[in-house]
Amino acid sequence: MGTCHQCGNDYDKAFEVTMAGSTYVFDSFECAIQALAPSCPHCGCRVIGHGVEAGGTIYCCAHCAAREGATQLADRAP
């Protein structure tokens, strides 16, 4: 059983996520997303996909990046 890092729930099916050298325990993907996924600086939604990047800032989509003044976007696709 593990205690969720986000909500504090003790759950027998909790799982661990290691990110940037730190390990966290969660009881659901919802809690993991809430705790670890970046937020779009324009609309505030959690970026759970690849998103787009401009000037080191991650946005959920090209629309939000453009609304924030980004003119050059980077995608992680090869």
Residues 63 and 76 in one domain: yes
Residues 13 and 48 in one domain: no
**Domain count within the chain:** 2
pLDDT at 78 over 70: no
pTM: 0.81
pLDDT at 77 over 80: no
Residues 10 and 44 in one domain: no
Residues 44 and 55 in one domain: yes
Nearest to 26 by CA among 42, 13, 40, 39: 13
Nearest to 9 by CA among 27, 23, 31: 27
Where does residue 78 rank: exposed (0-12), middle (13-18), buried (19+ CB within 10 A)?
exposed
pLDDT of residue 64: 95
Q: Which domain holds residue 43?
A: 38-78
Residues 43 and 78 in one domain: yes
